[in-house]
Amino acid sequence: MSVAVAIFVKTPGLSALKTRLWPNLGREAAERLHMACAEAVASVVAEAGRRHGMTAYWAVAEENATAHWPGFPCVEQGAGSLGERMARVYRRMYERHGAAILIGADAPQIEVRHLAEADAWLRAASAHLAIGPAE
């Protein structure tokens, strides 16, 4: 068994994102913020992968937008509610790796130690699910 980490992203220019920030920041600044957060999360996930053997993926919201997300393999989220999309990505990651961590791109505060704790928990014989706090 290995552990996959899927980072859920939307692609600027293809999906509206961070729309609640538009009135104060404007659309372009909100998109730049989204990308900065995604890059911060990706950096931490990549380091966790190097240290702990996890495999990183982009979980991309839009169909045929995977070319916009270099650095990690991509999987499409597919259609449906957030729960349906998360379930779909989880199933794919579980089939490939036996365990999966799903994280949003808007979690730049994540640290390697958080992913390492989830990784250790998921590798334990009795673990099926690890849920971390969203702050």
What is the separation of C-alpha 7 from the centre of its chain, rounded to a whole number of angstroms? Answer: 1
Third-level CATH fold of 4-123? Spore Coat Polysaccharide Biosynthesis Protein SpsA; Chain A (3.90.550)
b (16+ CB within 10 A) / e for 20-55:
eeeeeeeeeebbebbeebbebbbebbbebbeebebb
As a whole number, the mean pLDDT across the chain is 91
Could you say which DSSP state residue 12 is in? B
- Confidence check: pLDDT of 132 > 70: no
Domain chopping of the chain, boundaries = 4-123
Separation between Cα atoms, residue 36 and residue 41, nearest integer Å = 9
The 10s digit of each residue's pLDDT in 67-120 is 999 999 999 999 999 999 999 999 999 999 999 999 999 999 999 999 999 999
Tokens, residue 31: 């998109």
The share of the chain scoring above pLDDT 90, in percent, equals 77
The share of the chain scoring above pLDDT 70, in percent, equals 92
